[in-house]
Amino acid sequence: MPHILDTADADFETRLSALLGMKREESPDVDATVAAIIDDVRQRGDAAVIELTAKFDRLDLTPDTLAFSAAEIDAACAAVPLAERAALELAAARIRAYHERQRPEDARWTDATGASLGWRWTPVSAAGLYVPGGLASYPSSVLMNAIPAQVAGVERLVICAPTPDGAVNPLVLLAARLSGVETVYRIGGAQAIAAMAHGTQTIAPVDKITGPGNAFVAAAKRRVFGKVGIDMIAGPSEILVIGDGTGDPDWIALDLLSQAEHDESAQSILITTAQSEADAVRAAVDRHLTVLERRGIAGSSWRDNGIVILARDLGQAAALSDRFAPEHLELCVDDPESLLTRVTHAGAIFLGHWTPEAIGDYIGGPNHVLPTARSARFSSGLNVLDFMKRTTLTRMTPEALAAIGPAAETLAISESLQAHGLSVRARLDKLNS
């Protein structure tokens, strides 16, 4: 049974605070293991990666077979059924069109002193995408990570996609091909993150690593951050639905279960202003859990982490949603546009009864790599800018330096940085000579 709360109850704030403080992230003691793996890969390169792949994925590789050959990728792509290929191609086209609009513009101007100022945007030179393997093998994640990088102009993009026991998901390789990625390594885990960050004899290091993974992958990303950039440390998936009694209970129940079926640590939340809707959705969830293929996982998620809150009105519902800062937010209300203006914190927002979150996972266009665990309060989903850097530009004329240089010299002296001040003074003296 999910957690049931009513904002009118005297203990509501106490119970809500406890739920907001829940730690759903997996926290096994993996850091020491990951540290050893990273050090091993740094020291021995290919040999360490090959040994660790044999140990964890039960797959024997050589330096020549770390990556899929072009022929293997061709064969995998050819094996994809036409309907699935068409769906993936449509998704790729929509994702690309959306992200093309995110490309930033350079700027340059001259201020009142005559100084030329501005900025320019340039892509990182190389990026590595991690794609989970086994049961959690998602071609949609390939598109969501690789296409923004390609739109940004990243020159070299590689993928690490583990294939436990040699099992290959052809859709993952087709997604890589559709995204313009030709180099796909069949390695995973912390060893793949270490290889992309530090490089091996075969695998060249990258500048940024993105993509989801298990606790070992997350720990490895934390450890290599600084050596390379990373996108985020994503936790279990989450969805929050705001209702006003006008929604279809079956639709809302399925939307909640669409995240609950990801894993047992996922979280599904309903905040509604109608008691009748709260009761009907709970009943619908119970019905669907009797037939859902992943009912064991979804049922555990709903029982342990699910929340249903009865709110006084939609203004209060929006305020409560902001406190959760959910990864996915559905506004299943009669007037979603008005409610949208009252929401501040969410990774992605889905407006109206006809916009299920699942559309965003696959085909909508916006990115599905989103901040979790309330981090939408201060961060955004993956986008083109994550693969670019903004470099500032400054050019002084003699007149501009004469106008603002003395102030810079004064501030340098106040900070006891003599050479700073002298570097400005030398030029000012030249002007006055």
Question: Active-site positions?
Answer: 327-328
Among candidate residues 168, 143, 197, 149, the one with its CA nearest the CA of residue 65: 168
Backbone angles phi, psi at 423, to 5 degrees: -65, -35
Interatomic CA distance for residues 188 and 299, integer angstroms: 29
Among candidate residues 90, 58, 57, the one with its CA nearest the CA of residue 174: 90
Interatomic CA distance for residues 239 and 357, integer angstroms: 8
Interatomic CA distance for residues 138 and 77, integer angstroms: 15
Pairing between strand 307-310 and 3-6? parallel
Single-letter residue type at 117: L
| Helix (H), strand (E) at residue 183 | strand 183-185
Tokens of 274: 């109608």
What residues pair up with 129 in beta bridges, in sequence order? 159, 210
| Helix (H), strand (E) at residue 83 | helix 82-100
Q: 78: exposed, middle or buried (C-beta count within 10 Å: 0-12, 13-18, 19+)?
A: exposed
Among candidate residues 59, 27, 224, the one with its CA nearest the CA of residue 128: 224
Single-letter residue type at 143: L
CB distance 57 to 165 below 8 Å:
yes
The total number of residues shown for the chain amounts to 433
Residue 204 DSSP code? P
Interatomic CA distance for residues 160 and 211, integer angstroms: 10
Find the Cα–Cα–Cα–Cα dihedral 338, 384, 367, 325, rounded to 10°: -50
3-state secondary structure of 306: coil
Q: 298: exposed, middle or buried (C-beta count within 10 Å: 0-12, 13-18, 19+)?
A: buried
The angle at the Cα of 268, spanning 265 to 273, to the nearest 5 degrees, equals 155
H-helix segments, 155-248: 170-178, 189-198, 215-224
